[in-house]
Structure formats: C-alpha cells, structure tokens
C-alpha cells in the first residue's frame, strides 16, 4: 500500500455511538472485553462477537435476562461503545502476535476472554457476520477451550464463503486511496439512501445501530484491513474447522445482501457435527435486529442437557 494512502487511512475517526453500560471493561491489546453486571445469579454466560463495522450493542437487547452473564467483545481498533466506564488492564492479558484489524487477532481477544471471564459452565458464544469467522478462527487456535461451548453463528462469514454480488460490485472499483473519500461520501448521505438496499426493512433498533456504521472503527485503515483480511480468510480457510465444533446453530437469513447466502449455506452443510442449520425468515443480514425470536433458547445448552 502506498505511504500516501496509509497516511490518509490512519487519520482518526471520532466515536459516534455509545450507550450507558453498567459493568467492567477490560482492554485486551487494541480491543476490549466488557462484562455487563447482572442482577440475578448467573445461570448462563453469553459471549457476543460483533460483525464488521458494528459494535457490541448488537447483542445487548437479545440477552437481557438478569440470569445471563453477558460478555461483549470490541474488536481491535474499534471504539468501545460505552459511557461512564474506565477501561482497566486485566492481569490475565497476554500479548497478541497477529496483525491487529484481522480475524486472527480478534480470535486471540476472544480466547483470552473465554479462558478467563465466564463464571458459569453454560457458555454460548454468539457471533454475527465477521464475528462468526472470529469464533471459528478462535476454535482453530485453541480447540480444547470449546469442548463444552455452544455456538450461535448468525449470518456468518464462513470458510469458502463469499460477499454478496451487490457488495462485490460496490467494492471492485475502490482503490485504497479512494476509501477516505468514499466513507466521507457515505457518512454525509442519509442512511435511507443505501440502508434499505443493504439492511432490509428498518426498525428503530436497526436505525439506531446501523446509522453510524462508518464511525465504528478508530481509523479508515482498520476498515480496509478488515475487508481485505475477511476476503482472504474465506478463501484460504477450509471447512475442516467444523470438525472441532461440538454444539450449536447456524442462523441463516431469508435474504442477505451483505454475504452470499448460497455460499454460506453450502459451507454450513459441510459441518459434520451437531451444528444445526436454521433457515430463518429474517428479511436481512441482521437477524437478531430483525427479530429476537430467532435467537435460540438456552434449553439446548450442553451442560444443562447433561445435568
């Protein structure tokens, strides 16, 4: 990448979205992990891994039960979307050797969180979109950690998957030098100009969370690195990773204008384990935001089933 392009791309992006948060926030490398306070005794732990240009608030309304311990990742070089909490340095943090802004780096953040934070044995890791790839990469890195963990892979980036034809058509003509210009253009346009096309039918929560997408990262370089790494990861990762997965659900939307739905399904069907494929009626890539009804209940958690 040309030095002049890098200079343009590392110009900081201001944080544009946050919500009140009650809990603790731990910095891990250039990312973070937030642990929400829960009022009841924790019966299950959910770790949420957000998608490209999203933030951890994607999961907060889907897991509101007072007995759910909610642990939320902030991927590397993304803004932490919380108000009123000072991030702390945990004593369990281990330096990460991968390049930040990559699926491999964020998988290391996830593994450190999973190894150190859950207080229950009923653990679900829920990843949306790019978050699905982060989870599968994390399993590849440390399979033993996931032996009794349930997965929810929602509209996930998967091995041998593809971007949708619509997204590919938008990205193809974009060179590195054009990114800052393109993002400024998108940010100055009302989200209604492109929202319906990519995001499907809108509702208040979708508007709230998807309206500030291009302010999620701390710089433009992270956006470019995320996209290039994501495409390379899908191409080079084969479906053998599924043999290390024990339990869970692939949630597939009825319509997806971000990822190629057929490639996603074809990849999911290579899974030889107890992962079930649920083809939802969700009208967009953002299944949980379309309706919480698609989020599986906890009755299928492995530790509960064994008890």
- Give the pLDDT of the chain (307 residues) as one tens digit per residue: 556 666 777 788 899 899 999 999 999 999 999 999 998 899 999 999 999 999 999 999 999 999 999 999 999 999 999 988 999 999 999 999 999 999 999 999 999 999 999 999 999 999 999 999 999 999 999 999 999 999 999 999 999 999 999 888 888 887 767 777 777 676 666 665 556 678 888 899 999 999 888 899 999 889 989 999 999 999 999 999 999 998 899 999 999 999 999 999 999 999 987 899 999 999 999 999 999 999 999 975 554 433 3
The token pair that represents 12 in the structure block: 């900081």
Which two structure tokens, joined as six digits, stand for 174? Answer: 């974009």
pLDDT of residue 21: 94
Assess if residue 136 is contained within a domain. yes
Q: How many CA atoms lie within 13 A of 192 on its CB side?
A: 2
**Kind and range of the H or E element at 26?**
strand 23-28
> For residue 161, is it within any domain?
yes
pLDDT of residue 191: 60
Q: What is the CA radius of gyration of the chain?
A: 18
Dihedral sign (CA 264, 266, 272, 274): positive
- Short-list 259, 271, 269, 299, CA closest to 51: 259
Tokens representing 49 are: 């891994």
Total domains present in the chain = 1
- What pLDDT is attached to residue 10? 79
For residue 88, report the phi and psi dihedrals to the nearest 5 degrees: -120, 160
Instruction: Please report how the helices 220-236 and 103-116 are oriented relative to each other, as an axis angle in degrees rounded to 10.
Output: 90
pLDDT of residue 4: 62
Residue 297 in any domain: the answer is no
Tokens 């009626």 belong to residue: 281
**CA distance linking residue 166 with residue 144, whole number of Å:** 38
Q: Give a yes or no: residue 304 inside a domain.
A: no
In which domain, by residue range, is 93 found? Answer: 3-290
Query: Please, are residues 46 and 126 in contact by the beta-carbon 8 Å criterion?
Result: yes
In a domain, residue 307? The reply is no
In a domain, 33, yes or no: yes
What is the DSSP annotation of 67-125?
Answer: TEEEEEEE-TTBPP-EES---B--TT-----SPTTSHHHHHHHHHHHHHHS--SS-EEE
Q: What is the CATH number of the domain that holds 177?
A: 3.40.50.1820
DSSP 15: -
Contacts 24+ apart (CB under 8 A), 92-95: 92/116, 93/26, 93/27, 93/28, 93/29, 95/29
299 within a domain of the structure (yes/no): no
Does a structural domain hold residue 200? yes
* Residue 266, CA distances (Å) to 157, 243, 252 in order: 12, 16, 11
């Amino acid at each position: 990448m040309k030095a002049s392009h890098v200079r343009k791309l590392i110009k900081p992006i201001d944080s544009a979205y946050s919500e009140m948060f009650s809990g603790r926030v731990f910095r891990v490398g250039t990312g973070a992990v937030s642990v929400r306070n829960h009022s009841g005794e924790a019966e299950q732990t959910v770790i949420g891994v957000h998608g490209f240009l999203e933030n951890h608030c994607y999961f907060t309304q889907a897991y509101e039960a007072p007995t759910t311990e909610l642990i939320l990742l902030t991927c590397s070089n993304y803004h932490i979307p919380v108000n009123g909490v000072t991030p702390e340095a945990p004593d369990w943090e281990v330096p990460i050797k991968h390049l930040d802004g990559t699926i491999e780096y964020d998988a290391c953040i996830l593994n450190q969180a999973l190894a150190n934070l859950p207080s229950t044995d009923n653990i679900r890791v829920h990843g949306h979109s790019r978050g699905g790839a982060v989870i599968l990469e994390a399993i590849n890195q440390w399979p033993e950690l996931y032996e009794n963990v349930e997965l929810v892979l929602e509209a996930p980036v998967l091995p041998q998957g593809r971007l949708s034809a619509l997204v590919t058509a938008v990205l193809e003509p974009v060179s590195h030098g054009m990114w800052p210009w393109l993002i400024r253009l998108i940010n100055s346009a009302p989200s209604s100009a492109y929202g319906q096309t990519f995001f499907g039918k809108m509702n208040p929560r979708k508007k709230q969370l998807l309206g500030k997408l291009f302010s999620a990262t701390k710089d433009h370089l992270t956006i470019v690195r995320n996209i290039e790494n994501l495409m390379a990861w899908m191409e080079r990762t084969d479906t053998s990773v599924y043999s290390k997965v024990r339990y869970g659900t692939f949630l597939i939307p009825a319509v997806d204008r971000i990822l190629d739905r057929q490639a996603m399904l074809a990849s999911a069907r290579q899974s030889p384990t107890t992962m079930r494929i649920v083809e939802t009626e969700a009208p967009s890539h953002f299944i949980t935001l379309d309706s919480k009804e698609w989020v599986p209940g906890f009755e299928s958690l492995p530790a509960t089933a064994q008890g």
